[in-house]
Structure 1
């Protein structure tokens, strides 16, 4: 099916992109276009204009702040993100997860910002960014502001972006000593949407000769509900306990707070919740037992 007739705008700078979005409130940002172009062809969305930010070098940079925070440009493709040396060194799980998104064609075109801003409950990045306590930098007519990833997702396909605002960067805090990240997902097929996702940031200290120790901090987020959600009961059960598989499995039984997944042809809501607990357990075990922790 052909695309509908609309205005195509290719700004030369981020400032021009924001001006274009402010001038035409019924405009959509075009980055990788992996979802948007299909939605246009199916007449699901009806924008008056597309603002193409995919070639803005301002949005395709990776930089490290003095405190170790990584600044990731929103227009970075999955391939660029997965192959970046800084990302691979500082946030290896983020790079590894990105390298497995769908297939080579999608990774060559899909972008970090597109994945983050779509607000799809099944998207890859939202639960990971919530677990990492990432911050999202947005710019608009009123200036620049930062939004915590945990506060960014309001409902399926709804985010905290205001009209005319553009996501420009994703900020990943540095991992502290003893911290590591786990990410797990259950998919129908290698190139399909996930039935459940979970990500965990865990700090393990006082390791003994067997490699175990005490969990002193934990952030666990589940994905594939309406929005990615933290799991405070599971986190509280983990903190202060041993970093052993049995202890983690016991804490994972508490996962599922505020997790309200849909039921569809692939799985019931109950099955998705059960699998989310399994993914949460695996994500924490992965983080707690990694050699970098």
Structure 2
């Protein structure tokens, strides 16, 4: 279909003009179709007044009567990009920006993708701010350290960045796709996959972070120096990390056997996220960073510290 046929014709951007009528609006529809045909990545426009390309009408009065009905007119905007690509979504946004003779409705696979991307990006900043704020507040309250809360957020972001990079490398760029049973690489990433992977992987990463910090904070509250507290925290949680990570990796690997590429992407990516987080990040990067920070790990505003009722390190009593 891609190489032997005009596949783009099967997935045009569909522009519906429900209030347009012929011959009353023929001139305005003609001008509108010419404008659409000038847009980047648009190869031609087919509608009731003819076929258009590069701003010119190449065939008057389309032979297909289905472009006109008592309900109105519609136009098929044929592109040279795939309907599942970012360029296809950009074509839809450009089509919606062209003044129409009557209120226009734009649909099709490209429009669905553009609307999905806009819905996600429209709330993306709010969602990230909520996650960051709640994470900083809860981890800061629990550890009584602004530095540890900020470190937890930054290291988790680093782990997620590596995970999304691996996902793009495999499922978009095609590395190792033969090993995973992917017959053909599409060159694009499903829009929903990064969102799902980000939420699940962030939750798992923060779970591991809290387990390590909890034990380290307990040791430090007993008066143990930071370096030794970190070492003891790892000593008591490393086996738990390993067992938990293995369970998640095995479960996610089951998704990797699916015939659906989206499920493969989710399974492989989350398994990689857990592997990276439970080894490189949680057992190497985080402890090394805490040791380097030393006493700065435990910085907390004095007014907040009094409100929390914290006693000097090594003193018994509640936080």
TM-score by length of 1: 0.31
Tell me which protein shows more helix as a share of its residues: 2
Query: When you count strand as a share of all residues, which structure comes out higher?
Result: 1
Q: Taking structure 2 as the reference length, what is the TM-score of the superposition?
A: 0.29
Work out which of the two has the higher radius of gyration on C-alpha atoms and give 1 or 2: 2
